[in-house]
């Protein structure tokens, strides 16, 4: 299996949305997807300014097989940037062949090249295959932290 990873381009927006929907379906969260091609294009490939996030795509031969979407954050304790992996998804037919690991290693190299002090992501509690995979790479859960979120109407009330 010949795999390649490359940065996404504006022409890849439909494919990125397809991967986002595939991940959401796997996570039983498809009903929460509001993203559309126009919004993805505006935020990932803006005409002016910096993108809100970055995306890399994985291909097996010429077939789209997976993606990783990430952004940079900042650690005040380290006084260094960090890389936050928002989404990682490999199509079912390509799982178990090292593509997820290749995507993670690609991002780890990106984080090191940017001087990041850490790379983080979240995983659903029930996703044991992903948890096992991440731990096999040496990643450690941060169980002392609880994620909180403001979204939708609750967030808008503070506008």
**Residues acting as catalytic residues:** 134
Cβ atoms of 25 and 57 within 8 Å: the answer is: no
User: The dihedral of CA 25, 29, 34, 35: what is its sign?
Assistant: negative
β-pairing verdict for 80-90 and 118-121: parallel
Q: What are the DSSP calls for 111-142, one per residue?
A: HHHTT-SEEEE---TT-HHHHHHHHHTT----
Sign of CA dihedral 148, 149, 155, 159: positive
């Amino acid at each position: 299996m010949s795999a390649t990873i490359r940065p996404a381009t504006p022409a890849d927006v439909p494919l990125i949305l397809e991967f986002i929907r595939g991940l959401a379906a796997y996570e039983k969260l498809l009903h929460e997807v509001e993203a559309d091609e126009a919004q993805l294009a505006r935020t990932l490939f803006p005409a002016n300014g910096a993108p809100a996030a970055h995306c890399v795509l994985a291909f097996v031969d010429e077939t789209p097989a997976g993606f990783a979407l990430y952004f940079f954050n900042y650690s005040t304790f380290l006084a260094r940037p960090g890389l936050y992996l928002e989404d990682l998804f490999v199509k079912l037919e390509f799982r178990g062949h090292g593509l997820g690991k290749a995507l993670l290693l690609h991002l780890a190299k990106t984080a090191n090249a940017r001087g990041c002090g850490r790379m983080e992501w979240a995983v659903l509690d029930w996703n044991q295959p992903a948890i096992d995979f991440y731990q096999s790479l040496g990643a450690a859960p941060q169980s002392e932290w609880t994620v909180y979120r403001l979204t939708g109407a609750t967030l808008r009330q503070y506008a």
